[in-house]
A and B are shown apart, each in its own frame.
Chain A
Amino acid sequence: MSRAAKKNRTPASTVGRLVLIVVGMFGFGWALIPMYNLLCEATGLGGRTGGQYTYDPASERIDRSRLVKVNFIVNTNDGMPWQFWAEKNGMRVHPGELNEAKFYVRNPTDKTMIGQAVPSVVPLTATDHFHKTECFCFTQQVLEPGEEMEMPMRFFVDADLPPNVQSVSLSYALFDITELAGSRELLKESTADILGGE
């Protein structure tokens, strides 16, 4: 009367396969993170801009016949007490030409704090053509109480920017990462403790 004999599969082998599905899907869940990031970087979805770019004046084609408006939008995230402003609201640039814009932050509190700016560019079609050669968003900012800092940002828009794009907006959100940086340090120390443990 063995039911299992009827089919050549036993519960154990079925369960084995099913467990594989579970493990695989758990892995898939985690793999979604790099997949998502790759997709965003490849397509510029979510306004992702690339990392630091090197500007080579020799190879960059400069299009003096065209002017593109670049807008700067700055804001501080909820709960971030710093003041954050740009020297200019925007500028008109020729594609291919390197430009500089100045941004400022000030820490009005009586605590040393760490800030991090996160950039984003719209429209989507411009993200691949907007390059930063120097940006405060590549690093964290540590400000003493009352300290103010000037932060230059160098960028250019390459000449391949689709012709229908007349203006590009670059937005920065400034986050307070004092705690986050602290807990990261702590994590590093404690993992070092565990790894180097007595």
Chain B
Amino acid sequence: MSEVVVAGHDDHHDHGPDKGLARWLFTTNHKDIGTLYLWFSFLMFLIGGVLALVIRAELFQPGLQFVEPGFFNQMTTNHGLIMVFGAIMPGFVGLANWLVPMMVGAPDMALPRMNNLSFWILPFAFTLLISTLFMDAGGPNFGWTFYAPLSTTYAPETVTYFIFGVHMMGASSIMGSINIIATILNMRAPGMTLMKMPLFVWTWLITAYLLLAVMPVLAGAVTMMLFDIHFGTSFFNAAGGGDPVMFQHIFWFFGHPEVYIMILPAFGVVSQIIPTFSRKPLFGYDSMVYATASIAFLSFIVWAHHMFTVGMPLAGQLFFMYATMLIAIPTGVKVFNWVSTMWRGSMSFETPMLFAIAFVILFTIGGFSGLMLAITPADYQYHDTYFVVAHFHYVLVPGALFSIIAAVYYWLPKWCGRMYDESLGKLHFWLSFIGVNVTFFPQHFSGLAGMPRRIPDYALQFADFNMISSIGAFIFGFSQVFFLYIVIKTIRSGKPATDRVWEGAHGLEWTLPSPAPYHSFTHPPKVTDAEAHS
């Protein structure tokens, strides 16, 4: 720890942030922008959460209680869109902004001004999207997967807002990814070779490439929709010679890599946290890197597992079934490595570690249900039921979301220089853990019993499972408001944190003082074996 060059003290040109609103509007500082992304993500998480609770309130009992079926569809659609594009993705970009420069020993992101733009597009994009909910025609109601022609021929007029919203989110993600890749490839401190980078940096590097590859395809898809809707083309309109099934191919060519975009950075976060609290280096660092890269590669050749029931030749079904199952291998390698890292470690169970361990267990359950869905003939039965809902919520909520929460607990002391309250953190963890399982576990059963997804009403035999699910959802939802309270309390009045924060933590970010100075590593740090993977 002693040989560290502490930045910020010997800098004659050093200056702090501007005052007031201008600081946030015009900032090019990676820490400020990271903060903006994280708060934005949390706001979207709350809004998306409210929509989810509307869904769960309606499904608490069979029959129509609170909302019209049409409005219900708007809730499911916007819940999905807001959580995917507004909460999870910006949450991870926020973490990348805060952490990547500090982890590789860079003074800032490679393109600070573009960084500002990438963030500030988002509030506009989501204002556009969310405003449609208040319009007479109603918001998008065709599901987050916006299958044509439901989203073209039969869409509400507001679909154009949705299309431009998606364009803007895509532009933001693309710029963000370019920035992250350029930072990682060009701004690493001397000695920080690729194979010494922390896994969070590795996973983000690969994620950013995935984003660059698929966000343009998404942009193309929504542009085609725009043309079909307004300019009389027939990309997806069978009447004019187009093909609705083609929409699904294009969407899932984007969509499957997209689900890995939401989980690879989570793998990175967990790979940082588990070694710290196991007080052992990460088991199988190299294999983690290769597994991440293979998952990214495979994610491009499995998309049609979302489409087994549209009618595909046998050879196609078999190919996509085997390719999908293949993904379980690198994923299994990762789980094995996390468990081996914990094996015989001197473990302690602070809040970030609790969330990380829950991640490993619950994400694995999601992986198993994924494997069940990958079996083509079984998927004929499971497709479009609550079983699919259970699957992807297990990988996304206790998966992606838990990793973001774990990351906040883990690095918050570094960001704001104050420690969160450990007992409140643990309480938050247990409420979330119980809430998430009570919500989503019963959905496996209702799905296997045949309850279709995206419906406001259901047959009586599903009543018990749905009631349990709704109770869990409210527990989970309110525990996240409690999380907000914990974070604010920490920032306002937490006990001062030490520089290292966690006794087992390694990495350049921990060599900085807490809170991390506004400008860090203006002189490149020395990369020692203690602080980098070696």
Contacts and interface: CB of A to CB of B under 8 A. Distances in A.
Contact of A14 (B186, B245, B311): B186
A18 B178 contact: yes
**Interface of B, helix, strand, loop or mixed by DSSP:** helix
Interface string B207-239: 001001111111111001000000110110111
Contacts of A176: 239
A188 B484 CA distance: 55
Interface stretch (A29-37, A67-75, A141-149, A154-162): A29-37
B468 interface: no
Given A7-B186, A18-B182, A29-B220, A180 B174 contact: no
A177 interface: yes
Contact of A118 (B239, B311, B524): B239
B249 A32 contact: yes
A191 to B, nearest CB: 10
A136 to B, nearest CB: 14
Contacts of B190: 3, 6
Contacts of A22: 174, 178, 212, 215-216
A17 to B, nearest CB: 9
Contacts of A184: 232
Most buried by A among B213, B237, B239: B239
Given A7-B186, A186-B232, A26 B216 contact: yes
Interface residues of A, number: 41
Interface string A1-33: 101101101110011001101110110111011
Given A6-B190, A175-B238, A183-B231, A25 B250 contact: no
Given A18-B178, A184-B232, A173 B238 contact: yes
A15 B213 contact: no
A135 to B, nearest CB: 14
Contacts of B214: 25
B10 to A, nearest CB: 13
Interface in B268-322: 311, 313
A190 to B, nearest CB: 10
Contacts, number: 110
B189 A3 contact: yes
A177 B212 contact: no
B185 interface: yes
Contacts of A21: 209, 212-213
B186 A9 contact: yes
B196 interface: no
A176 B149 CA distance: 14
A18 B190 CA distance: 23
Contacts of B239: 77, 116, 118, 175-177, 180
A86 interface: no
A32 B212 contact: no
Interface in B161-197: 174, 177-178, 181-182, 185-190
Nearest to A77: B239
19 contacts: A3-B188, A4-B186, A7-B186, A11-B110, A21-B213, A22-B178, A25-B213, A26-B217, A26-B220, A30-B220, A32-B246, A32-B249, A36-B243, A116-B240, A118-B239, A177-B239, A177-B240, A180-B234, A180-B237
A93 interface: no
A36 B249 contact: yes
B181 A14 contact: yes
Contacts of B185: 7, 9, 14
Contacts of A1: 523-524
A30 B185 CA distance: 30
Nearest to A124: B313
Contacts of B215: 22, 25
B339 interface: no
A28 B217 contact: yes
A124 B182 CA distance: 48
A177 B232 CA distance: 10
Given A1-B524, A3-B188, A116-B239, 18 more contacts: A3-B186, A3-B524, A4-B186, A9-B185, A11-B187, A14-B186, A15-B111, A18-B212, A22-B174, A26-B216, A29-B216, A29-B217, A29-B218, A43-B313, A46-B245, A77-B238, A177-B240, A180-B232
B246 A180 contact: no
Nearest to A47: B311
A1 B313 CA distance: 59
Given A22-B216, A25-B214, A32 B182 contact: no
Interface string A159-180: 0000000000000010111001
B219 to A, nearest CB: 6
A169 B20 CA distance: 71
Contacts of B178: 15, 18-19, 22
